[in-house]
Amino acid sequence: MEFWRSAANPWGQDVLIGVSWDLMWAAIIVAGLFFVGHAIWIKTRPAVEPAPTGASAAGLPERIQRHSLAARLFHWTMSASMLVLLGTAFVPVLGIQFDWVQIHWIAGVVLTATIVYHVIHSIGWQDFWAMMTVGVGEGIATLKHIMSPKAPPPPKAGKYPFDHRLFHHTIVVVGLGVIATGLLMMVRIDTPFWTRNPYMLSDSLWGVVYVVHGLCGVSLIFLTASHIYFALRPEKLWITWSMVRGWIDREHYVAHFDPEKWVVGEAEDAKKGSIASGAVADASVSVRREDT
């Protein structure tokens, strides 16, 4: 299997022109094997109750807000742009020809804009460090539990479970890599923003940009497929629905989250020194927003 493609430039130099399409098929095969392996692993694992925390449903609203409308719009806009980017990048390799370049760079601009918005939004309006912090202890506990069902369940997380944060950090690295190289590559095409300039970098440097962009793109095949797979797992559908509806029910909150790490309702208001929003009896979404 080849890892990259090369060709001779007009001066007879052998330069990189991108990653090998073998990597695309490798990513698809690895993703398929991972899904089958994970499904078998889940089937063979004994059912394990979440670690107790002494949390009670008393005083909690029936619905607990997890994602604001702004956060959900960001997520689905980013998801749509990512799927368009992957489709326009790799579908032509299968022999389906269409004018993909313009669609691809427009989707790339949309993705870039959503990421810029998300960075500003998360720093200014969300609990930024709740997603960014990854504890070594909880990582070791999670790994032990994955390796052996006899190991005790890892401690309950706050608003964002450990595997969510780990996936987030991976997608940040890969996403920033594909965006940075993609914006550089846009210099080589005519857009409403500028006239193309293919000579900004040397052929050898352009080759490095192509390869990095391709490696990030291939990685996103696996990462995106994995994200969709877990989102559709029966035991994870309640999390997926929270990205559609914005809330989770109090039973899932009590079962899966540590109330000291993800504080909601009157306790959150008291902690922040603000007027309590309360856990009202009408079962509405009464938890104070973290990401409005």
Mean pLDDT of successive 10-residue segments in the chain (292 residues)?
82 85 94 95 77 61 92 95 95 88 94 93 79 83 87 87 92 95 93 88 92 95 96 94 95 90 64 35 37 40
pLDDT score of 272 = 42
pLDDT score of 285 = 39
Interval 97-114: pLDDT, tens? 888 999 999 999 999 999
pLDDT score of 289 = 40
pLDDT score of 287 = 41
Backbone φ and ψ for 232, nearest 5 degrees, come out as -95, -5
pLDDT score of 233 = 95
pLDDT score of 284 = 36
Domains and CATH numbers, the chain: 14-56+72-233 (1.20.950)
